Amino acid sequence: MKVLVSEKLSAAGIERLREDLDVDVRSGLTPDELLAAIGDYDALVVRSATKVTAEVIERGENLKVVGRAGIGLDNVDVDAATRHGVLVVNAPQSNVLSAAEHTMALLLAQARNVAQAHSALIAGSWERERWSGVELHGKTLGIIGLGRVGTLVAQRASAFGMRLIAYDPYVAAGRAQQMGVSLVDSVADLCARSDFITIHMPRTPETIGLIGAKELEASKPGARIINTARGGLVDEAALVDALNGGRLAGAAVDVFENEPVTDHPLFGLSNVVVTPHLGASTTEAQDKAGMTIAEQVLLALRGEFVPYAVNVDVGADIPETVRPYLRLAQRLGRVAVALAGSGMESLRFEYHGGIAEHDTRALTLSGLKGAFSAIVHEPVTFVNAPLMAKERGITVEDTKSSQSLDYVNLVEVRAGGEDETVSVAGVLVGKRDTERLVRVYGYDLDMSFAPIMVFFRYEDRPGIVGIVGTLLGEAGINIANMQVARQSEGARR
């Protein structure tokens, strides 16, 4: 079998692939050259520069697996790969330590003006007073996102004697307390209380511009921002304005909205430190990524279980009876977590009916993928899904029952928090196994899943549905479908 490696991969990773496969290393391919070449290969290994588009996947007639040597998958069309039965694998644990250490490096560089003082000195200027800095000890570090990297940063910042606060609505308060971190209710609150702010969130439609003009205006005077996560999480234009206006004392940026970039308004500011996306650029991280991705590609091409498969529904060893329910479990997990909101402490996956007679572990993992995919920094896999729950202090359990009173097979997810437990349930219907949402908050309904879903609970009295429709209409929101359910007349809907 043939493998195309389109970007620089560690020598150890290349050698591991060559033990069993025919490997071509062709760095710097243009998009057209990649399209022309991909049809000859069974596997494609990339890093962050190569764009694995739907067209590339369609042209890959023999393509069985795409390997991303790193965490992010912004450059791979995972949905297209899934449609074509192409496995996508990554190396989600390879660079978390390097990313955390780079965050600390930028934190210190920003506090002590290291880069600016270095440049001034080698240019012939001895400017001790101009580049005087601040200590980390006793300062408040605000961490947005307490995933793997955020947790590692918290541990290291604690050793410097910093006070730690964090915004992450999906971390249990008890878990944060164990780490010596105080949780806050909003990004704006965190900005208002922090001397230093560091971001460790995924780039999603919900997190783009997470820190914008409003949050920067609310920030503590003299605060400093560090971003080693993803470009676009901080509104770059608003950041420039806040720095020029004196609201912020400085910023350290490793990632940008459009990369690569060599000309940017931030580059001309003396209180800014910038690096060209170096978070994962250590020898150790690249070696780990290369070896990990080589092993995952080899497993995939042998048709064996692939622990770091991102699109789990293409993975091997999943019973055919169970496979159609993977996407349903994923969607239910996402809805349950969205409705549960902050303070979630447990996730329970229940399988009722004939499906309970089969191995449903993949369904639970798929449900965890849906639960965490929009709230964590790295893609969710078979291996790291349970770890993500554990790191956030969220217990995970599943139960089975061969009895299902209303449906042949039913999947239910319960997300428990401090105040209440949210339950959602779904089924598959028809010859095409269409996913249907049939229970929310204990109310029976029957509706299809949609990218945008809104749920209301209210007292059952005349006129409420009209009020809701009017409010949405006035906001320019069109209602494609509506379901109304109640447990008894006059009760809460």
CATH architecture of structural domain 96-274: 3-Layer(aba) Sandwich (3.40)
Give pLDDT, residue 490. Answer: 57
Give pLDDT, residue 489. Answer: 67
pLDDT tens profile 211-243: 999 999 999 999 999 999 999 999 999 999 999
The 10 Å Cβ neighbour count of residue 303 is 10
Q: What is the CA radius of gyration of the chain?
A: 25
As a whole-number percent, the residues of the chain with pLDDT over 70 amount to: 96
Q: Which amino acid is at 143?
A: I
Give pLDDT, residue 460. Answer: 81
**Residue 105 CA neighbour count, 13 Å, CB half:** 18
Average of per-residue pLDDT across 25-46? 95
Among candidate residues 207, 179, 206, 182, the one with its CA nearest the CA of residue 193: 182
pLDDT tens profile 462-479: 888 889 889 989 999 888
Backbone angles phi, psi at 125, to 5 degrees: -115, 125
Mean pLDDT of the chain: 90
pLDDT confidence of 442, banded at 50, 70, 90? Answer: confident
Query: In this structure, are strands 163-167 and 140-144 parallel, antiparallel, or unpaired?
Result: parallel
Whether the per-residue pLDDT at 95 is higher than 90: the answer is no
Whether the per-residue pLDDT at 131 is higher than 80: the answer is yes
Class for the domain spanning 319-455: alpha beta
Give pLDDT, residue 154. Answer: 97
Task: Give the DSSP per-residue string, 73-131.
Answer: -TTB-HHHHHHTT-EEEE-TTSSHHHHHHHHHHHHHHHHHTHHHHHHHHHTT---TTTT
Classify residue 196 by its DSSP letter. Answer: E
pLDDT confidence of 27, banded at 50, 70, 90? Answer: very high
List Cα–Cα distances, 351 to 87, 367, 371, 399, 411, in angstroms: 26, 12, 17, 6, 5
Whether the per-residue pLDDT at 178 is higher than 70: the answer is yes
Give pLDDT, residue 315. Answer: 55
Whether the per-residue pLDDT at 67 is higher than 90: the answer is yes
Classify residue 211 by its DSSP letter. Answer: B
Give pLDDT, residue 420. Answer: 80
Whether the per-residue pLDDT at 257 is higher than 90: the answer is yes
Rounded to two decimals, what is the model's pTM? Answer: 0.74
| CATH 3.40.50.720 given to domain 1-92+281-317 | yes
- The terminus-to-terminus CA distance of the chain in angstroms comes to 58
Give pLDDT, residue 305. Answer: 76
Whether the per-residue pLDDT at 85 is higher than 80: the answer is yes
pLDDT confidence of 393, banded at 50, 70, 90? Answer: confident
Average of per-residue pLDDT across 440-460? 89
Determine the distance from the C-alpha atom of residue 168 to the mean position of all C-alpha atoms in its chain, rounded to a whole number.
Answer: 12
Whether the per-residue pLDDT at 418 is higher than 90: the answer is no
- Contacts of the segment 269-278: beta carbons below 8 A, 24+ positions apart: 269/240, 269/243, 269/244, 270/116, 271/116, 271/243, 272/243, 273/106, 273/109, 273/110, 273/114, 273/115, 273/116, 275/102, 275/106, 277/48, 278/102, 278/254
Active-site annotation, residues: 230, 259, 277
Do 1-92+281-317 and 96-274 have matching folds?
Answer: yes
So where are the chain's domains?
1-92+281-317, 96-274, 319-455
